[in-house]
Amino acid sequence: MSDPHRLEYLQALGIGTWRLRGAQHEPAPAQGPIVAHMDWTQLRTCVAACTRCPLHETRTQTVFGVGDPQARWLFVGEAPGAEEDRRGEPFVGRAGQLLDAMLLAVGLKREQVFIANILKCRPPGNRDPRPEEARSCADYLGRQIELISPKILVAVGRIAAQTLLKSESTLAKLRQQVHSFGPAGVPLIVTYHPAYLLRSPAEKRKAWEDLQFAKRVMQSGSSQS
């Protein structure tokens, strides 16, 4: 991918340049190739050793993401929880089981999609990610999106949606629309987080509607609402 396109991906994620900078609050630069040029193995190694923000001090391990590296569908959540931190895999436990069921409802299996998070480390106490933490991880996710080149992005939960879209709108206002992400204009659909659905089961039908909507977008190849 060209440098202008890399720049646009970082801008879409809230970072203004791919260049390594020395400002006081900038993330520490990665060792070896800069993230923009890393392959999957280099990127995974870099994430595993990351100390860009204080979350590395409390994690058990990083949660890089799982699935097909050439998947057409990319699901992005907010951050690992306690079980994800222990196992090193996103969306496990009860929330992961519900996500798997949601995928099956539209004819997908976990191994056919790619699942990642805005953050690669668990925030203590499962608190919401802080803006500076999301910025520290942004080029990791940006590079994952570049390497996967998905046909559709699904933002799972309010924080993932607001971060990817750089929006303060509520999840309710962002649902049932086809948003555009990055230089390629990847269609982006917003839905509820499975953990929220476990607490509010009456909303499960809306999540099913969101995924049916995403499936129609995929089938049509349209990025227009």
Q: Which domains are seen in the chain, by residue range? A: 3-220 (3.40.470.10)
CA angle 203, 209, 213 (to 5 degrees): 145
pTM score? 0.84
Distance CA 120, CA 14 (A): 17
pLDDT tens, the chain, 225 aa long:
555 555 555 565 655 444 434 334 444 444 445 899 999 999 999 999 999 999 999 999 999 999 999 999 999 999 999 999 999 999 998 999 999 999 998 899 999 999 999 999 999 998 999 999 999 999 999 999 999 999 999 999 999 999 999 999 999 999 999 999 998 899 999 999 999 999 999 999 999 999 999 999 999 874 444
Helix (H, G, I), strand (E, B), or coil: what is residue 73? strand
